[in-house]
Chain A
Amino acid sequence: MSGPNNEYDPVQVTPLNAEEVAAARDAALAAVEAAADLEQLKQARLDHAGDRSPLALANREIGALPPQARKEAGQRVGQARGAINQALKARQEVLEAAHEEQMLVVETVDVTLPVDRHPRGARHPLTTGAERIADVFVAMGWEVAEGPVIEAEWLNFDALNLGPDHPARTMQDTFWTSPAENHVVLRTHTSPVQARSMLTRTPPIYVVCPGRVFRTDEYDATHSPMFHQVEGLAIDEGITMAHLKGTLDHFATAMFGEGITTRFRPSYFPFTEPSAEVDLVCFVCRGTAVNEDGDTCRTCRGEGWIEWGGCGVVNPRVLVACGVDPERYTGFAFGMGIDRTLMFRHGVEDLRGFFEGDVRFTTAFGTEI
């Protein structure tokens, strides 16, 4: 209960005087309305709603009034102070919103400024391409087998039915390590991994082997002494050419899209019999041999097909040399150039792009293809 105000000078507003209370209220409301920013509003609050404001002082006087007068005075002053506080609150909200608006304007930046402080990295398409191929086969339940790039001649040739005098040995221009009497070569294909897989695993065997291979080819837009192959080998009971076709069709579709399948042409490889070249429906013209403008398709040169690789039924001689019972098991094998596959999948014109190490080439492929 407040006592009479004895400390301060004569009150400016007597609570019984309705006119004075109204005037004080109006002055306060005017001041609140006039406040242009939060600072001015703070001052208006102090002046008109603070402890020393006229109505606050008048409020204190109420207690000193005769009881019959208190109710009316209390109502009058209370209503006035309520109106002022409401106005203050409303004005506060308006000014705060304006202030916030103002701050957002002040803090505006140019978001088009470059922010790339850390240049991007990338993985090589030959790596990610090999991974993608591996994933297709792993999804079918196959495993990824690996072997060394410098390989025993026996595993690279003899075990694969390429005897010392086989004419096919001359087709593969081999890098020999020195001294040649040690019979160690840079592998000319990924096929020795086939031999290693059969020698170390027990059928059924379903392995895919991506890797680097070497031949003494001069380096140009379509040849390289080092390139990449992916080899596939399936050894199981009852394996047929139909399984080979089914696997390659699935592989082609997974890599190149629906409708892209394969065809076989008779061919010759020492390690397979029967052997086939495998062609792929040109995924650019989709076998129509013409492009959108009706001109000859550049990717397949109007053939409608693209040469993709070699394949066949594993020659029983290879099974014997690698310890697989040819009476019980049959198998199929295939091999494709990864570099070549990527060249036509991604429209790479020059093989050398893969090996120059120019970051502009590699970065275009990101971290997965």
Chain B
Amino acid sequence: MKAPVTWIRELVDLPDGVTTDDLARRLTALGLKLEAIERPGHDLTGPLVLGRVLTAEPEPQKNGKTINWCSVDVGDANGTGEPQGIVCGAHNFGPGDLVVVVLPGAVLPGGFAIAARKTYGHVSAGMICSASELGLPDGFGGSSDGIVVLPADAGEPGDDAFGVLPLRDEVIEFEINPDRAYALSLRGVAREAALAFDAPYADPVDRPVPAADGAGHPVVVDDPDGCPVFVTRVVSGFDPTATSPAWLQRRLQLAGMRPISLAVDVSNYVMLELGQPNHCYDADTLTGAIRVRRATAGEKLTTLDGVVRSLDAADLLIADGSGPIGIAGVMGGEATEISASTSRIVVEAAHFDPVTVFRSQKRHKLGSEASKRFERGVDPLLPLVAADRVAQLLVELGGGTVEPGTTYVGEPPAAPTIVAPADLPARISGIAIDDATTVAHLEAVGCAVTEDGTTLSVVPPSWRPDLTEPFDLVEEVVRIVGYDQVPSVLPAPGAGRGLTREQRLRRRVGRTLAGAGCVEVVSFPFTGAAALDALEIPADDERRRTVALANPLSSQEPEYTTTLLPGILAAAARNVGRGAPGVALFETGTVAFATDVAAPLLGVDRRPTDAELDALLAAVPFQPQHLAVVLGGVREPAGPWGPGRDAGWADVVEVVRGLATELGATLRVENAELAPWHPGRCARLLVVGADGTETAVGHAGELHPRIVTAHGLPARTSVAELDLDALLAATPSTPRGPSFSTYPVAKEDVALVVDVSVPAADVEAALCEGAGELLESVRLFDVYTGEGIDEGRKSLAFALRFRAVDRTLGEGEAAAARDEAVALASQRTGAVQR
């Protein structure tokens, strides 16, 4: 809402010395938030004077243009009293016209300094001004495009133009919250200004209006719920050629609206002044009575913006004998609009149901100045006075007469009575506010208050439909007392339980991965078929079960992702593209798997039952937290210590294993095949629980080379993706203090030859099981193929450590255990000791 300060001051008598900045600050403190202060015309400095054109000689030029060489009487303003010689390119004026002249030394908006200069063979000492040069609206004061020609009686040559024209003003732009629709008018802004400074306020609504007699244009309201009040007045004998006066155009311009024609400008002016949207029809285009009714499906209306609208049965219409002529509270129809020949005008001012207007506006994507006000709530007592104000202004500025009849159909909705404890504002705000102050402040905003002991019965004013509940009154009282009066007191919650186990573990995950050299990224979770195709994820894969968005920002990414890989790989490629020799990234984030269950529509007048809540939550997709890691390119740079090393499958498996160790989880790794991983370099990761049950938590390994290339990543880029929730859930919560033997260790090494296809983990598992409880640890320390080993076989060298808890191992005990281990490995995996 843009409010010109001169207009505000017309309605409220502000104390001396109150500046626009003061005003804006105090109104912000009351809840009308300052967006910006504009100071139009303040970058325009004189001398700027009125001048009468004495002569204007057209002089054709070689470039095809014709200029006017003018002499202009500017009185004594130029210091000599002699006519001023000025070259002017415009032609909409002539000798005798009163114009605005800017003399050398002046500066026009935009820092354009005026000086006498030689042009077209003359010395042009100044400029005859157009509207846009002065920052005024086009067509200002009825001048057609070009030079501003003032009425002959506007002043004398040499008069200071600042005193004649509304060149300078200040405009405060407010952000109006949805609950303060009344402030979408100068009436409302001025009322708040009066409240802020305790200043005298003249409500522009307080004016005599004729009684309703039903003799205006006939109206039938079929839907009083949608349209509680409808008023018409009629103006006849209106001069369709009359133009809006300069002050009206200027005010509309400053308020952010474009002057169009006198009838439209008056309509908009009254809307800005009072907050009541209204409409002017060309009476001669109306067919019979105006009817307010719901649309029937299939009806069409061409709105003022020239668009044909297919109407919905829920749209509330203004119609006449010809059919729809407007969508109630949203926009009028083209067929009945005021034209350049309209002389009889039907003025409409009505009150419409906010929800009905909101839905129509949304349905037709047709937000307008009218709908903005109606959907937030307009004072229902306004239609009669607003219609009269429009009619009177039309006649005052455009001639003709207001016909005596006034049609008033309906009944304004009654204001509610709010019963509230008098001490509620004090109790809720924590400020010491006595009851008398509460009553005084409620009355200051326009409420009628009746006190009954400690209880107040409050009837809000007609312009405050937002006030319906006791807590609404609290805000009114507290904002006047001042939000800055709220004391600062810390509440005293009981002892808290701190972070949950999962919250603590998630922090550890992040620290561990950062410790492993990985940098965390945060990606958008939007994806699409193309991204999943690029990862070669099969059509029947679980990861295709994305949650589709009804209104995605990008048609390329219309879904919520099931995997973090598209995002983190894009980030990896971005880093590589920006010159990083290697990347090590991780990301934790929510993924989602679609659930095609509709949520029930629940009320809000009570807590849903547990069954209703269960049904509601069943519609919410499954959303586990995932963890992704990507390692690509240089993992260890070359340096004085030796050659560097690129990341590969082992690095990412190491990172994941290290994370599991840090979390205290036992991780088992097995070979697997899954897109987008390299089919021979993909590990499935399983967490082994205390009871031996295994939970698959994800995969790690090298990306398929084709996918590496397609994503522009370094060769052998390796990734992991884990279900973090599953990993954390399978992590033991309380580590046990260890007990360990201090007897000497016995070491035994074995080399076992197996087929290359046998996983080392299987051999190791067999060794562990076969070695029995004396085995302390086993570690694979070499894998060998080549000379001495048959083709298709490999030698795995393991270091076994044995130790007893209660004694030093005797001669041969470790060797016997080793033999048991080898025997079981042979049986299980066909291993042969080398």
A residues apposed to B, CB below 8 Å: 113-124, 126-127, 131, 134, 138, 140-144, 148-155, 158-159, 161, 163, 165, 167-168, 170-171, 174-184, 186, 199, 204, 206, 212, 216, 218-219, 225-226, 234, 236, 239-247, 249-250, 261, 263-268, 273-277, 313, 315-317, 320-323, 330, 354-359, 362-363, 367
* Pair A170/B362 contact, Cβ less than 8 Å: yes
Is the CB–CB distance between A122 and B607 below 8 Å? no
Contacts of B486 in A (CB 8 A): 241-242, 244-245, 264
Contacts of B582 in A (CB 8 A): 119
Residue pair B550, A357 in contact (C-beta under 8 Å) = no
Q: How far is the CA of A218 from the CA of B554 in the complex (A)?
A: 10
- Which of A122, A246, A315 touches B520 (beta carbons < 8 Å)? A122
Q: Which A residues are CB-close (under 8 A) to B178?
A: 167-168, 171, 268
Q: Does B248 contact A (CB under 8 A)?
A: no
Q: Which of B483, B489, B491, B510 has the most CB of A within 10 A?
A: B491
Q: Give every chain B residue within 8 A of A116 (Cβ-Cβ).
A: 637, 639
B491 touching A234, Cβ below 8 Å: yes
Contact of A245 among B487, B590, B605 (CB under 8 A): B487
By size class, the interface of chain B is: 35 or more
22 intermolecular pairs with C-beta atoms under 8 Å apart: A121-B513, A122-B519, A149-B525, A150-B560, A171-B178, A175-B549, A177-B560, A182-B599, A184-B620, A184-B621, A241-B428, A261-B488, A264-B484, A265-B31, A266-B479, A267-B31, A268-B179, A273-B471, A273-B472, A273-B474, A277-B33, A355-B524
For B574, list chain A residues within 8 Å (CB): 356-358
CB distance from A318 to the nearest CB of B (A): 8
Q: Which of B286-320 contact A (CB under 8 A)?
A: none
Judged by a CB distance under 8 angstroms, whether B60 is at the interface is no
A119 / chain B contacts, CB cutoff of 8 Å: 517, 582, 584, 637
Q: Which of B493, B523, B599, B607 contacts A183 (CB 8 A)?
A: B599
C-alpha spacing A268/B488, complex, angstroms: 21
Name the residue in A116, A154, A362, A367 with the highest tally of chain B Cβ atoms < 10 Å from its Cβ: A154
Bound complex: CA A177 to CA B31 (Å): 35
> Is the C-beta of B511 less than 8 angstroms from some C-beta in chain A?
yes
Q: Could you tell me which residues of chain B, from 496 to 538, have a CB within 8 Å of some CB in chain A?
A: 496-500, 503, 507, 510-511, 513-526
Instruction: Please give the distance in Å from A11's CB to the nearest CB on chain B.
Output: 56
Which residues from chain B contact A263 at a C-beta distance below 8 Å? 483-484
Chain A contacts for B608, CB-based, 8 A: 199
With contacts A117-B639, A122-B520 taken as known, whether A241 is within 8 angstroms of B430 at the C-beta atoms is: yes
- Which stretch (B133-141, B199-207, B267-275, B611-619) binds chain A? B611-619
Question: Are B580 and A359 in contact (CB-based, < 8 A)?
Answer: yes
Say yes or no: A150-B623 contact (C-beta < 8 A), given A158-B602, A167-B376, A218-B553. yes
Instruction: Please determine whether A127 and B487 come into contact, CB atoms closer than 8 angstroms.
Output: no
Selected from A158, A175, A204, the residue in CB contact (under 8 A) with B493 is A204
Q: Are B585 and A357 in contact (CB under 8 A)?
A: yes
Q: Is the CB of A141 within 8 A of B496?
A: yes
Given A246-B488, A267-B33; A362-B601 close (CB under 8 Å): no
- B interface, CB within 8 angstroms of A: 28-31, 33, 177-180, 354-355, 358-359, 362, 375-376, 427-431, 469, 471-472, 474-475, 478-479, 483-484, 486-491, 493-500, 503, 507, 510-511, 513-526, 547-553, 560, 568, 570-572, 574-575, 578, 580, 582-585, 588, 590, 592, 596-599, 601-602, 604-608, 613, 616-617, 619-621, 623, 636-637, 639-641
Closest partner residue, chain A, to B507 (CB atom): A131
- Our pick among A241, A276, A321 for the contact of B607 (Cβ within 8 Å) is A321
Residues of B within 8 A of A123 (CB): 510-511, 514, 520
9 closest A-B pairs by beta carbon, nearest first, are A357-B571, A242-B430, A323-B607, A266-B31, A240-B430, A274-B475, A268-B177, A121-B514, A357-B521
Give, as a whole number of angstroms, the nearest-CB distance from A155 to chain B: 7
Assembly CA distance A256 to B472 (angstroms): 33
Instruction: Among A142, A148, A152, A323, point to the contact of B599 (Cβ < 8 A).
Output: A152
Q: Which residues of A contact B29 (CB under 8 A)?
A: 265-266
A357 adjacent to B523 (CB under 8 Å):
yes
- A176-B549, A356-B574 given; A226·B599 CB < 8 A: no
Interface pair A363/B519, CB less than 8 Å apart: yes
| CB proximity of A292 to chain B, nearest CB, Å | 25
Q: Are B571 and A240 in contact (CB under 8 A)?
A: no
Q: Which of A168, A274, A277 contacts B428 (CB 8 A)?
A: A274
Given the contacts A276-B483, A315-B471, A175 and B551 also touching, CB distance less than 8 Å: yes
Q: Is the beta-carbon distance between B607 and A117 smaller than 8 angstroms?
A: no
B599 near A154 with CB under 8 A, answer yes
Contact B499 A144 (CB under 8 A): yes
With contacts A167-B178, A274-B429 taken as known, whether A246 is within 8 angstroms of B491 at the C-beta atoms is yes
Chain A facing B: main interface SS? mixed
Known: A119-B517, A148-B620, A242-B431. A313 touches B497 (CB 8 A): no
Q: Which A residues are CB-close (under 8 A) to B524?
A: 225-226, 355
Which B residue's beta carbon lies closest to that of A217? B553
Min C-beta distance of B369 to chain A, whole Å: 15
A268 pairs with B180, CB closer than 8 A: yes
Q: What CA separation (Å) do A79 and B520 show in the bound complex?
A: 78
- Residues on B with C-beta less than 8 A from A134 are 499, 503
Q: How far is the CA of A250 from the CA of B493 in the complex (A)?
A: 14
Contact, CB under 8 Å: A242 / B489: yes
Residues of A with C-beta under 8 A to B428: 240-241, 274, 313, 330
Residues of B within 8 A of A179 (CB): 550
Please, which residues of chain B bring their CB within 8 A of the CB of A163?
Answer: 604
* Other-chain contact of A359, B549, B568, B585, B602 (Cβ < 8 Å): B585
Closest residue of B by beta carbon distance from A154: B602
CB atoms of A155 and B521 under 8 A apart: no
Query: Is the pair A241, B493 in contact by a Cβ cutoff of 8 Å?
Result: no
Contacts of B362 in A (CB 8 A): 170
Contact A149 B491 (CB under 8 A): no
How far is it, in angstroms, between the C-alpha of A121 and the C-alpha of B582 when the chains are bound? 12
The smallest C-beta distance from B519 to any residue of chain A, in angstroms, reads 4
On chain A, the residues within 8 Å of B518 by CB distance are 121
Residues in A neighbouring B551, C-beta threshold 8 A: 174-176, 216
When distances are taken between beta carbons in the complex, the residues of chain A under 8 Å from B359 are 165
Q: Which residues of B contact A178 (CB under 8 A)?
A: 548-550
Residue contact A247 to B491, C-beta cutoff 8 Å = yes
Q: Which A-chain residue is minimally distant from B30 (CB atoms)? A: A266
A126 contact from B507, B522, B568, B621, Cβ within 8 A: B522
Q: Are B491 and A358 in contact (CB under 8 A)?
A: no
How far, in Å, is A14 (CB) from chain B's closest CB? 60
Do B639 and A239 touch across chains, with their CB atoms under 8 A apart? no
Q: A117-B637, A144-B499 are in contact. Are A265 and B28 (CB under 8 A)?
A: yes
> Which A-chain residue is minimally distant from B177 (CB atoms)?
A268
For the complex with contacts A323-B607, A362-B520, 20 further pairs of A-B residues with Cβ separation under 8 Å are A116-B637, A117-B641, A123-B520, A141-B495, A142-B496, A151-B620, A154-B602, A155-B616, A158-B604, A165-B359, A167-B376, A177-B549, A182-B619, A226-B525, A236-B491, A245-B488, A246-B491, A263-B484, A273-B474, A320-B604
Closest chain-B Cβ to A104's Cβ sits at a distance in Å of 21
- A51 CB to nearest chain B CB (Å): 43
Contact status B33-A181, CB under 8 Å? no
Q: Do B33 and A265 touch across chains, with their CB atoms under 8 A apart?
A: yes
Tell me the complex Cα distance, A154–B600, Å: 9
* A residues near B488, Cβ cutoff 8 Å: 242, 245-246, 249, 261
Bound CA–CA A176/B601 (angstroms): 16
Q: Which residue of A lies closest to B484 (CB)?
A: A263
In the complex, the chain A residue whose C-beta lies closest to that of B425 is A274
Chain A residues, Cβ within 8 Å of B475: 266, 273-275
Residues of A within 8 A of B592 (CB): 149-150
B residues less than 8 Å from A143 (CB atoms): 496-498, 500
- Specify which chain A residues have a CB less than 8 angstroms from the CB of B525 in the assembled complex: 149, 226
Given contacts A158-B602, A266-B483, contact A358 B621 (CB under 8 A): no
Residue of A whose beta carbon sits closest to that of B578: A358
Write out the residue numbers on chain A whose beta carbons fall within 8 Å of the beta carbon of B639: 114-117
Q: Is the CB of A355 within 8 A of B604?
A: no
